[in-house]
Structure 1
Amino acid sequence: MPGLLRPLPFVFIAIMAALPALALADPPFTQQTARDIIAASHKVVSPHGVQELKTIDVNGTKQWISVRGNDTRNPILLFIHGGPASPDMPLSYTFQQPWEDFFTVVQWDQRGAGKTYRANDPKAVEAGMTVEQMTSDATAVVQYLRKTYGKRKIFVIGHSWGSILGLNLAHQHPELLYAYIGVGQMIDMPKNEAEVYRFAMEQAKSHQNQKAIDALKALGTYPNPSRPVTLQEIGVVRQWSSAYGGLTFGRDGFNYDADAWQLAPEYDDEDISAIGKGSKFSLDHLLPLLMNYRFANGMTFECPVFLFEGRHDETVPENIAADWFKTVKAPAKELVWFEDSAHMVMQEQSGRFLDHLVHDARPYAVEAGDAAPADIVEH
């Protein structure tokens, strides 16, 4: 027993050494204090690492990226966020840090989103708010990363809306990718919206929620093929599908994520304000284009394709992507189910998510010699 207690004095010595500084530092604890603490705890200190937050030129616009990893010899993983205009850069501190042992991870604020929305005159970029232009933006970001960090290929994750850009990129430029990973993969928007509405109404009736039933019934036929779906209508459907766990399994909304934005080290108050402004701007331009967007069955890809799907996703219903995936041809493909997740899979089951990234996807880069040497274990 004495042997077990021996290390404790060294712990107490370290704590006691810090107490004078703690006693002297008595400013109010602020939002910025919390950001600074998170930034310090997430600082990349590895001698082979990289930590950069910067703007790059993307098709004539300034677009923000965050590049983080503990070893630049590892493969690059580009995360294409959802929304439209719902950036994951201010959420990445909640799930990404373990990824950085195995990948150099890039978060990108797309045209019209977050920090990038703030960095550009909206009138100068609105003509480019199309699926085609933003797919071209994604391609330009991949090319920048390859050239800047000396990589022949990279990995791409497309989440939700970002999975439209990611899947287009994988189909058009497979030579740039080790593999594409779709998370909450969007395939058929009319089917998507009909399924989300069905789920929300079914749950509302099951819970005898008359307020929800009335709000959903007031929409009439949804989606209505004779006219465009409005942002207000989508908001009503998403309000109630999220309330019953369709966004995050076991949670009744998105506040836990929206609150997390407030502490993001990469974002200041004006950046956070830009999220909402950018979302309204982006949806005004993209929503009419998206509501009839479909990927055809039987598509052929020339790079490996993975789908990481939450079993309870009722934001982008998983069964639509699963049925489509059966028809896909690719040199390798795999559908991975996350049984305790809905739409926010990378946060809901972050450990399993990383496990599949490392053991299913990363070997393609390892085989190409694009990975840091494995840790050496001596016995």
Structure 2
Amino acid sequence: MKLFVQTFICALTLTPMAAFPARVEASPNAHAILREFNKVVSSNGIDEAKAIEIGGIRQWITVRGRDRRNPILLVVHGGPAAPDLPNRYLFERPWNDYFTVVEWDQRGAGKTYELNDPEKVAPTMRVARMVQDAEELVTYLRTTYGKKKIFALGHSWGTILGLYLAQRRPDWLYAYIGVGQIINMREAEQIAYDWVLSTARKAGDADAEKELEAIAPYPESNGALPLEKMNVERKWSVHYGALTFGRQSYNFWENAEKISPDYSETDFKAIDAGSAFSLPKLLLDMASTDFTKLTRLDCPLLIFAGRYDYTTPSQPVQRWFERVEAPSKRWIWFENSAHMIYAEEPGRVLVHLVQDALPLAAAAGDVAP
């Protein structure tokens, strides 16, 4: 593959640009091109996108895999209200060889935000309600697709919902997979703040140091996580690579959304609207998240952790992981990643899903031959 890329770049360099007159004109069709490229065409495959009734409102899901005999992998996205669906084309296509992957735009997020009246949804924006949504969705998936168990993969904020799901319904899961796991939100925010302030000081970054010192104490003495303070901390932690290792911004991910085969321009606007709608309503619940007293999980546990993740720092998660009992558990470091492991090391994510998760379904006969 490396040789192919080098050869292709060389060819572009040596070929007159006049030989590619249609390239600029074709770019507006990127959505359609990618949609066609990613289409599932296998005879036993599944490729669905639909709104279903969950928790009294319409919620958007996609179900995609090249063989419906494979196990279901439910992705519980982060944020809050940051759906993975717009960017899944960047990393998820190979997953479809081994899993039927379900993407879910949660209550208040993305396409689900568009489908409902925000005023009616607003009073329901609580973690407890969204955990119930997850349970209802898993029930729907198990019933509709004839599966006794599925995999649940939570990322960032989604690990809160995912771990509650695993705690409450372990018999429904082959395993729970936590990516950028949150165990104690306030402790994680304290570690992240201390790290970014120290990093800014070491770098001699007077602007960052001034802005970060101005929000002290963060978290506040009563444990509160004011949104305006969180925004300052995130601004500088992203700058110093706590979100994506070696990058100073999130632009690469947001720009990739613009050619998504799964989201329209209207849908993109709903991401921002959903985030502004959801985060203030869920922040109090997020701030009080604390799984440190959870000492037993009755389903297998996998943790994917970025070595440089200071968005959801790993230290509290490691201490919890060492104590928690589970039928099996495994911690996997991603040595070249921060928080966006899917984007940073997509190949290794696939390897560990196939190597460490898939055998749990294979043992039950829930894989394609």
Q: Are positions 1:357 and 2:348 aligned together?
A: no
Q: Are positions 1:340 and 2:336 aligned together?
A: yes
Q: How does 1:30-179 map to 2 (within 5 A)?
A: 30-31=27-28, 33-179=29-175
* 2:222 equivalent among 219, 222, 226: 226
- For 1:359, give the aligned amino acid: Q
Q: Which moved more, 1:324-333 or 1:284-293?
A: 284-293
Distance across 1 between alignment mates of 2:136 and 2:260? 26
Q: How does 1:198-217 map to 2 (within 5 A)?
A: 198-217=194-213
Please report the TM-score for the alignment, with normalisation by the length of structure 1. 0.90
Give the CA deviation at 1:124.
1.2
Q: Which runs of 5+ in 1 are unaligned?
A: 1-21, 374-379
2:299 — aligned with what?
A: 303
Max Rg structure: 1
Q: Which runs of 5+ in 2 are unaligned?
A: 1-19
Distance across 1 between alignment mates of 2:286 and 2:67? 38
Q: Are positions 1:264 and 2:267 aligned together?
A: no
Give the CA deviation at 1:229.
2.2
Distance across 2 between alignment mates of 1:226 and 1:335? 32
Give the CA deviation at 1:265.
1.1
1:197 — aligned with what?
A: 193
Distance across 1 between alignment mates of 2:347 and 2:152? 19
CA offset digits 1:252-300 (Å, max 9, x no partner): 1211111111111111111100001100110110012211221123521
1:185 — aligned with what?
A: 181
Distance across 2 between alignment mates of 1:39 and 1:71? 19
Alpha carbon RMSD of aligned pairs, Å?
A: 1.5
C-alpha change, 1:70 and 1:227, in structure 2 (3 Å) is: closer
SS in 1 for 2:305: strand
Give the CA deviation at 1:186.
0.3
Distance across 2 between alignment mates of 1:193 and 1:292? 12
SS in 1 for 2:274: helix
1:280 — aligned with what?
A: 276
Distance across 2 between alignment mates of 1:119 and 1:37? 26
Distance across 2 between alignment mates of 1:159 and 1:137? 17
Contact 1:175 1:303 in 2 (8 A): yes
Distance across 2 between alignment mates of 1:242 and 1:209? 14
Distance across 2 between alignment mates of 1:355 and 1:227? 39
Contact 1:53 1:266 in 2 (8 A): no
SS in 1 for 2:26: coil
SS in 1 for 2:25: coil
* 1:370 equivalent among 363, 366, 369: 366
Distance across 2 between alignment mates of 1:185 and 1:26? 42
C-alpha change, 1:218 and 1:26, in structure 2 (3 Å) is: closer
CA offset digits 1:122-157 (Å, max 9, x no partner): 111112211111000011111111111111100000
1:9 — aligned with what?
A: none
Q: Are positions 1:28 and 2:25 aligned together?
A: yes
- For 2:252, give the aligned amino acid: Y
Give the CA deviation at 1:37.
1.0
- For 2:257, give the aligned amino acid: W
Contact 1:311 1:339 in 2 (8 A): yes
Please report the TM-score for the alignment, with normalisation by the length of structure 2. 0.92
Over the matched positions of the two proteins, sequence identity in percent amounts to 48
Distance across 2 between alignment mates of 1:231 and 1:91? 26
Contact 1:297 1:327 in 2 (8 A): no
Distance across 2 between alignment mates of 1:159 and 1:27? 36
Distance across 1 between alignment mates of 2:142 and 2:262? 23
Distance across 2 between alignment mates of 1:329 and 1:227? 28
CA offset digits 1:62-100 (Å, max 9, x no partner): 000111110000000000000000100001001000000
- For 1:327, give the aligned amino acid: R
- For 1:56, give the aligned amino acid: I
